[in-house]
A and B are shown apart, each in its own frame.
Chain A
């Protein structure tokens, strides 16, 4: 009965590879997010989708491409992985595109690029 789930939990890969992280929420929320947490624990938003529409796109390399097939899913595809992409990636969701609503976070995906 996990509210926000992410797969995989751990991802170890070589530089230059392409990988995807999947996120699903079963809360019926309209808005989903991707955050990156670096090695110093700093959390920064990457993207946000509201009802499958991209509404936030921070300064992220275009090697990162989010895809939302429906409002319950927001996947993150990363091309040509680099060492600096190593981080923990968190997916989150909220009831609507409203800043008042708390965001529910997934367990995170730890990506290690070798």
Chain B
């Protein structure tokens, strides 16, 4: 069985602060895929990043960066210099190798205050 845990239910920061969203996963598969999705107040789900289990390189995209550590089964997400528009619910998710069944974490509500 697969499981994703996002221990931080809610995070509140002031604009320009850096913030890290934690994600820990459990799986018995040796091959798997990890994702982050963003759900802004408007409600849609926006894909942010995909990572496979063999690629432990960290990734940076603008103010966003991701740290994948297989040894600790973690896939953390950092927003640098946060902005009000970053306010959203962020979901970490995991799929097995054979089919696209996304298992989501509980989500972290991020509020960025001006």
Contacts and interface: CB of A to CB of B under 8 A. Distances in A.
Contacts of B102: 33, 35, 43, 45, 103
B100 A41 contact: no
Contact of B89 (A33, A41, A100, A108): A41
A88 interface: yes
17 contacts: A35-B102, A42-B107, A43-B102, A45-B102, A45-B103, A48-B99, A90-B45, A99-B33, A99-B96, A99-B98, A99-B101, A100-B52, A102-B47, A103-B47, A104-B47, A107-B43, A107-B44
B44 A102 contact: no
Task: Say what secondary structure dominates the interface of chain A.
Answer: strand
A78 to B, nearest CB: 20
Interface in A57-114: 88, 90, 92, 94, 97-105, 107-108
Contacts of B95: 99
Contacts of A107: 43-44
Given A48-B100, A94-B100, A102-B50, A88 B43 contact: yes
A77 B41 CA distance: 27
B68 interface: no
A12 interface: no
